[in-house]
């Protein structure tokens, strides 16, 4: 008997007990559907995050903090005070001395404090006033809808605005607001005195659903805002920072790891933008892994269904098996016949599950785009790639094959004379 004949026979045998075969295929379908859909969500979300990250070039930036053991301490009992005791917050504080020491390292082209600025409101040509939160530019290359990047080497006040502020400030388009002057209202932290600073709009930030975008100012403008914010503060407080931003000369993976080790030895910790994104991706992977486990449990249950289906088939076809062996069919071909049946069950269930996942993804993506992921522009929630789909099919077929080996082995070992006498 040829292999093609064995496959045809196996297919016919599956149709004999359509009820049992159908229920087993359904169990595999559920597992394959769950795993394929979950893998699709994982791929879709990860691809979206990577696309958004590519819009912002921060590969050469390193966030530096003081390496303190205070967070790791679990002992909350009172500690006796001594003259040498320090304020707990001081363990995290960085100063200009830290900046000077870090600038001496061969790795960095620049080290600057990561500070926050406070702005009361922004005012445009229509004299309407709007609250404003802004970042200080750290050298990031932003994705822009119009205009250019900030210039930190000139003594001029420059600002990047988000698209929401264009019409709010009285302008009809991104192009119209470019190179126009807006007014920022600033107050010191220790008083209600208000001062105004003018700045030129040089660019409009493109939306970034994952990272978010916020109005950003160049170094020259930020320094003027900080001077007003810090008015009245002691020099000691002005020169205290909780984190620094370092620009890496050669941001290769190998160099970054060496930099982190050097910083750790000096009492600092370093974190790249990629490290923070990896934390987000790890959370996504963890959630989808849990869902994949549920699909795997369904496949495990389905494998027992295959074993049961084929054991029942062996019992029902005992005399037929005895006749085939009496006519010269080898144990190997008989074993192959039953394992092919199990593989066919697994393959049909896997393909149906994947097709179901494909069909569902089209509907889910359309519904999601109009509802719960509407704010995430260009997010295709479920995406499939050939590698993961092929792997899912292969794993299910392998599980089906292994499940079929037990009843196939039993069929191959049947004594033909005993089998022919079976009632």
In order of start, what are the domains of the chain with their CATH numbers? Answer: 1-52+284-419 (no CATH), 114-240 (2.40.40)
| Per-residue pLDDT tens digits for 31-57 | 999 999 999 999 998 888 877 777 666
Chain center to CA of 54 = 13
DSSP 154-175: SSS-EEEEETHHHHHTT-SSHH
| Per-residue pLDDT tens digits for 192-237 | 889 999 999 999 998 765 566 789 999 999 999 999 999 988 888 8
Taking the C-alpha atoms of residue 273 and residue 290, their distance in angstroms, rounded to an integer, is 27
Specify whether the CB–CB gap between 212 and 145 falls below 8 A: no
**Mean pLDDT in residue range 138-153:** 88
The reported pLDDT for the residue numbered 259 is 92
**Mean pLDDT in residue range 275-298:** 85
Per the structure block, which two tokens stand in for 3?
């292999």
Mean of pLDDT over the chain: 85
Torsion angle defined by CA atoms of residues 251, 255, 261 and 264, in that order, rounded to the nearest 10 degrees: -20
Calculate the alpha carbon distances from 376 to 57, 89, 133, 160 in Å: 20, 38, 21, 21
The reported pLDDT for the residue numbered 419 is 66
Calculate the alpha carbon distances from 190 to 1, 207, 230, 380 in Å: 94, 35, 8, 48
Taking the C-alpha atoms of residue 204 and residue 146, their distance in angstroms, rounded to an integer, is 5
Helices and strands, counts by H and E, the chain = 13, 14
Per the structure block, which two tokens stand in for 135?
């970042």
Q: How confident is the model at residue 70 (pLDDT cuts 50, 70, 90)?
A: very low
Specify whether the CB–CB gap between 238 and 188 falls below 8 A: no
The reported pLDDT for the residue numbered 74 is 47
Q: Does the structure show a pLDDT above 60 at 18?
A: yes
Q: Does the structure show a pLDDT above 90 at 129?
A: yes
Per the structure block, which two tokens stand in for 314?
């062996």
**Mean pLDDT in residue range 87-111:** 83
Q: Residue 216: what are its φ and ψ, rounded to 5°?
A: -130, 140
Q: Does the structure show a pLDDT above 90 at 170?
A: yes
Calculate the alpha carbon distances from 333 to 273, 309, 321, 413, 415 in Å: 59, 19, 11, 12, 15
Q: How confident is the model at residue 123 (pLDDT cuts 50, 70, 90)?
A: very high
Taking the C-alpha atoms of residue 235 and residue 15, their distance in angstroms, rounded to an integer, is 86
Question: Computed from CA positions of residues 129, 130, 133, 136, in that sequence, does the dihedral angle turn out positive or negative?
Answer: negative
Q: How confident is the model at residue 422 (pLDDT cuts 50, 70, 90)?
A: low
Taking the C-alpha atoms of residue 136 and residue 202, their distance in angstroms, rounded to an integer, is 15
Percent of the chain surpassing pLDDT 70: 91
Q: Does the structure show a pLDDT above 90 at 390?
A: yes
Chain center to CA of 169 = 36
| Per-residue pLDDT tens digits for 80-92 | 655 554 555 556 7
Taking the C-alpha atoms of residue 199 and residue 194, their distance in angstroms, rounded to an integer, is 16
């Amino acid at each position: 008997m040829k292999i093609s004949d064995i496959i045809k026979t196996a297919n016919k045998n599956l149709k004999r007990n359509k009820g049992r075969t159908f229920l087993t295929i359904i169990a595999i379908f559920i597992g394959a559907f769950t795993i394929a859909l979950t893998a699709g969500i994982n791929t879709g979300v990860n691809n979206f995050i990577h696309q958004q990250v590519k819009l912002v070039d921060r590969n050469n930036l390193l966030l530096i903090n003081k390496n303190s053991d205070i967070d790791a301490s679990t002992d909350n009992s009172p500690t006796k005070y001594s003259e040498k005791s320090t304020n707990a917050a001081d363990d995290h504080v960085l100063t200009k001395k830290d900046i000077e020491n870090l600038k001496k390292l061969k790795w960095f082209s620049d080290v600057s404090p990561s500070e926050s600025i406070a702005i009361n409101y922004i005012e445009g040509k229509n004299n309407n006033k709007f609250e404003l939160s802004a970042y200080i530019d750290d050298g990031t290359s932003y994705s822009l809808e119009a205009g250019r990047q900030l210039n930190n080497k000139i003594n001029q006040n420059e600002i990047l605005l988000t698209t929401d502020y264009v019409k709010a400030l009285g302008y009809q388009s991104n192009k119209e607001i470019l190179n126009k002057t807006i007014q920022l209202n600033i107050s010191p932290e220790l008083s209600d005195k208000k001062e105004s600073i003018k700045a030129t709009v040089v660019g409009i930030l493109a939306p970034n659903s994952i990272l978010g975008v916020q109005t950003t100012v160049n170094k020259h403008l930020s320094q003027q805002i900080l001077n007003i914010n810090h008015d009245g503060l002691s020099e000691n407080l002005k020169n205290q920072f909780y984190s620094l931003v370092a620009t890496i000369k050669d941001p290769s993976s190998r160099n970054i790891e060496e930099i982190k080790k050097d910083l750790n030895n000096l009492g600092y910790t370093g974190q790249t933008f990629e490290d923070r994104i990896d934390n987000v991706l790890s959370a996504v992977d963890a959630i989808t892994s849990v869902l994949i486990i549920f699909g795997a449990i369904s496949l495990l249950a389905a494998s027992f269904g295959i074993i049961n289906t084929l054991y029942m088939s062996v019992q029902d076809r005992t005399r037929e098996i005895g006749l085939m062996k009496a006519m010269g069919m080898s144990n190997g071909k008989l074993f192959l016949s039953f394992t092919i049946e199990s593989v066919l069950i697994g393959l049909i269930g896997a393909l149906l599950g994947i097709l179901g996942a494909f069909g569902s993804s089209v509907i889910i993506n359309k519904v999601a785009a109009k509802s719960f992921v509407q704010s995430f522009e260009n997010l295709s929630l479920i995406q499939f790639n050939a590698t993961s789909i092929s792997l899912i099919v292969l794993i299910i077929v392998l599980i089906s094959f292994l499940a079929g080996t037990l009843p196939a082995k039993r069929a191959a070992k049947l004594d033909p004379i005993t089998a022919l006498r079976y009632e």
